[in-house]
Amino acid sequence: MELERAKRKIIEAHTIAISGHINPDGDSIGSLLALGLALKKLGKKIYMVSADGVPKLYRNLPGAARIRKKVPFPVDLAITVDCSNKEILGDTYAMFRKSKDILEIDHHEFRRPFGTIQVVDHKAAAVGELIYLLLKKLRIGIGARIGQNLLTSLVVETNSFRLPNVRAFTFRMCADLMRRGVDFYKLVDMVYWSKSNESAILTGICLSRCVFLKHGRLAWSIIKRRDFRKVGGKDEDVDAAADEIRSIKGVKIAVLFREKNKKLLRVSLRSKDNLNVASIAETFGGGGHFDVAGCSIPNSKKTITKLLSLAKKSL
Amino acid sequence: MELERAKRKIIEAHTIAISGHINPDGDSIGSLLALGLALKKLGKKIYMVSADGVPKLYRNLPGAARIRKKVPFPVDLAITVDCSNKEILGDTYAMFRKSKDILEIDHHEFRRPFGTIQVVDHKAAAVGELIYLLLKKLRIGIGARIGQNLLTSLVVETNSFRLPNVRAFTFRMCADLMRRGVDFYKLVDMVYWSKSNESAILTGICLSRCVFLKHGRLAWSIIKRRDFRKVGGKDEDVDAAADEIRSIKGVKIAVLFREKNKKLLRVSLRSKDNLNVASIAETFGGGGHFDVAGCSIPNSKKTITKLLSLAKKSL
């Protein structure tokens, strides 16, 4: 990690632009805002950039209103947070490459570096941890506003301390931020306690119908049009249901069918323990990641059976 | 908190029995085990007691196999963890009252004290925090086995750091335990990624039946005997359902009724935003925390309506 060099470049720069990645999550937005608010304190001209704007969930974070979609002109120093390659900067990269330096602050294990300075540690639970270290190095005081953003990055990226990326340092940092007046409860309320009534009921219906095959290693469920008609709610209200099925003990592959209309089913596939569900999705003209994939299939018992038997074979 | 007195009584005692409450949760079992394993190190004769045994989920915790359902005879010192009144000790209390002293270690806000020494702090996120302080006071080294139990108490009682009881000390303690070789991921995997099939389906049924009152500020649901008969599974398999109801956006009070038998309903109450549900539970002879409480009521529509209208009034 080139913390010392990063510090020097920041101190030398007059204009600094900071960007997270497209389709931003809490780590990207939280890190961007924490760093932006902090460097403003040094009297720099700061541009906070997010090509895709700020998701609704994070619009109340301190400083979020200052995030813009574009950088107006090249800056002395461009900083990217949570970006493992230049493509996920979106259109922002075209402007960033014109700046004197690009500082990458990131924690991805698989990367294609594109900057001139790297503050990278794949053992960091979130990029927020690296921002925290950098602010300490710069001796910038962390108040409640910066702290709230840093904590958001940690809480979201660790799924509220449920993922294996959590380390002792993560907790030490949390303890420190709590002392600085961060409203921890407000944050958790914002991130986790915001499921809609319809989403809760539809997810409930989905779980109540779960069918377990292959000694519980394969689990599937279905949400029908009439469920949506009865409960209300939209397709996106059941987005999390497939993950919930996967989290059941012993389940290695989870399959959720959603009736899009009389003729079409949307299929969400999830896996654990390195099982490839993208290949199942591909068979039906879909795609995705190794452990998170999807496709659309004809709405018939026959295709459901066909897809499930393919899933059985993958186990 | 009588930490100093508790320390002295522990050092003086030769035989010590420790018990949590009936229908034990992770805080009760984790605290019981951590303290039991630690006091064994002092060369005491230790009995770890749980009238209801150990829920399946916690049977792999270090030391869990040593927990027994009864105390064989009175001891010099009886210690209760996570018990706000003597009734929730179940049958154990009859034997405990015959011991020379009863040390209560607890964090409930609303209590009916029954012991001779109190280590009580309602600001502690979990009883595990108080055990940790006591072990420091006794200068007993915390290794991976004790640490795993302490961390279980914290993780479960804070719902993985999603409840407002979390404080800076909670995180500091976690950081310390991580350094002692605790397998954090194994713990999270055990607690959160290990819902049983039955638990998933029953929780699903419960959510699918949610009724929203007072513009969604009050939500309630019920699990019937026939659900258990149809799905299988035990009462403990729906322990988390009340929390799930509370986590819905806008819900301030969540009420879950569980049919224990034809005559009795168990009621779990949860609240957000500092609403007092313990007072509702107390009206029906129950108790608990400000935001997590419970009671038992006659199994009839009339009492359900009565309880819900009391809940409405608390909003």
Ranges in chain B annotated CATH 3.10.310.30: 197-314
pLDDT score of B234 more than 90: no
Cβ–Cβ gap B204/A200 under 8 Å: no
Per-residue pLDDT at A185 exceeds 80: yes
Coil, helix or strand for A269?
Answer: strand
Q: Is residue B235's pLDDT more than 90?
A: no
B contacts of A189 (beta carbons < 8 Å): 272
Which amino acid does the sequence have at A187?
L
Mutate to test the interface with B, among A166, A183, A207 (most CBs of B within 10 A): A207
Q: Does A192 contact B245 at a Cβ distance shorter than 8 Å?
A: no
Check residue B236 and give its pLDDT.
Answer: 79
Distance from CA of B162 to the nearest CA of A (A): 6
Q: What is the structure's pLDDT at B166?
A: 95
Min Cα distance B285 → chain A (Å) is: 30
Decide which of 1.10.1040.10, 3.40.50.300, 3.10.310.30, 2.30.30.30 is the CATH code for B197-314. Answer: 3.10.310.30
- CATH superfamily, domain B3-192, is inorganic pyrophosphatase (n-terminal core) (3.90.1640.10)
- Over residues A231-261, the pLDDT tens digits come to 998 877 887 799 899 989 999 999 999 999 9
Is A288 a residue whose pLDDT tops 80?
no
Count of other CB atoms within 10 angstroms of residue A295: 21
A114 forms beta bridges with none
Does B237 score more than 90 pLDDT? no
- CA distance, residue B132 to nearest chain A CA (Å): 16
Residue pLDDT, tens place only, B85-140: 999 999 999 999 999 999 999 999 889 999 999 999 999 999 999 999 999 999 99
Whether the pLDDT of residue A293 is over 80: the answer is yes
Task: List Cα–Cα distances, B44 to A12, B36, B96, B118, in angstroms.
Answer: 64, 10, 17, 21
Write the residue in B160, B168, B206 that is nearest to A160 by C-beta. B160
The model's pLDDT over A294-307, given as tens digits with 9 standing for 90+, comes to 899 999 999 999 99
Is there a contact between B3 and B120 (Cβ–Cβ < 8 Å)? no
What is the predicted pLDDT for the residue at B191?
Answer: 82
Give percent above pLDDT 70 in chain B.
100
Contact A208 B204 (CB under 8 A): yes
CB < 8 Å to A211, chain B: none
Q: What residue of A is the nearest CA neighbor of B199?
A: A248
Mean pLDDT, range A5-10, rounded to an integer: 98
Residue with tokens 């179940």: B90
- Residue A249 has its nearest CB partner, among B167, B194, B244, at B194
| pLDDT at A191 (0 to 100) | 81
Helix (H, G, I), strand (E, B) or coil at A25: coil
Please list every residue in chain B whose beta carbon sits closer than 8 Å to the beta carbon of residue A249: 193-197
Residue identified by tokens 């959590």 is A166
- Which residues lie below 8 Å from residue B139, measured CB to CB, with a gap of 6+? none
ipTM above 0.85, yes or no: no
> What are the phi and psi torsion angles at B16 (to 5°)?
-130, 130
Asked if pLDDT for residue A52 goes beyond 90, the answer is yes
Q: What is the mean pLDDT of residues B24-36?
A: 97
Where residue B204 falls among pLDDT bands split at 50, 70, 90?
very high
pLDDT at site A193 = 78
User: What percent of chain A has pLDDT above 70?
Assistant: 100
Query: What gap in Å lies between CA A186 and CA A274, rounded to an integer?
Result: 35
The 3-state DSSP class for residue B109 equals coil
pLDDT grade for B203, boundaries at 50, 70 and 90: very high
Number of other residues whose CB lies within 10 A of the CB of residue B109: 17
**Measured between alpha carbons, how far is A121 from B270 in angstroms, rounded to an integer?**
40
Condensed to tens digits (0 to 9), the pLDDT of residues B251-271 reads 999 999 999 999 999 999 999
Rounded Cα gap, residues B101 and A107, in angstroms: 54
The mean per-residue pLDDT over the stretch A139-150 comes to 96
On chain B, the residues whose CB falls within 8 A of the CB of A193 are 162, 246-249, 272
| Average pLDDT of span B63-79 | 96
pLDDT at site A219: 98
pLDDT at B189: 79
| B209/A207 Cβ within 8 A | no
Distance from CA of A72 to the nearest CA of B (A): 38
Cα–Cα–Cα angle for B287, B288, B291, nearest 5°? 125
DSSP E strands, B150-301 = 211-213, 218-223, 253-259, 264-271, 287-288, 292-298
pLDDT band at A63 (very low <50, low <70, confident <90, very high): very high
> DSSP state, A195?
B
DSSP assigned state of B167: -
pLDDT at B125: 97
Structure tokens at B75: 């001891």
Q: Which of A167, A179, A208 sits opposite B205 (nearest CB)?
A: A208
For residue B147, pLDDT beyond 90: yes
A272 pLDDT more than 80: yes
pLDDT tier at A34, thresholds 50, 70, 90: very high
pLDDT-derived band of residue B146, with 50, 70 and 90 as boundaries? very high
Chain A residue numbers touching B211 (CB-CB < 8 A)? none
Residue A209: DSSP 8-state = T
- Cβ distance of A208 and B208 shorter than 8 Å: yes
At which residue do the structure tokens 């090249």 appear?
A: A74
Could you tell me where in chain A the CATH 3.90.1640.10 domains are found?
A: 3-192
Q: Which three-class secondary structure state does DSSP give residue A311?
A: helix
pLDDT band at B56 (very low <50, low <70, confident <90, very high): confident
The mean pLDDT of chain A is: 93
Question: In Å, how far is B241's CA from the nearest CA of chain A?
Answer: 10
Least confident residue range of A280-284, B11-15, B199-203, B238-242: B238-242
Task: Identify the bridge partners of residue B253 per DSSP, sorted by sequence position.
Answer: B218, B271
Q: Can you give the pLDDT at residue A165?
A: 84
Q: Which residues of A touch B184 (CB under 8 A)?
A: 164, 166
Show residues of chain B in contact with A201, CB under 8 Å.
207-208, 210
CA atoms within 13 A on the CB side of B314: 29
User: Residues B290-310: what's their mean pLDDT?
Assistant: 95
Distance from first CA to last CA of chain B, Å, rounded?
33
Res. B185: pLDDT tops 90: no
CA–CA distance, A190 with A205 (Å, rounded to integer): 25
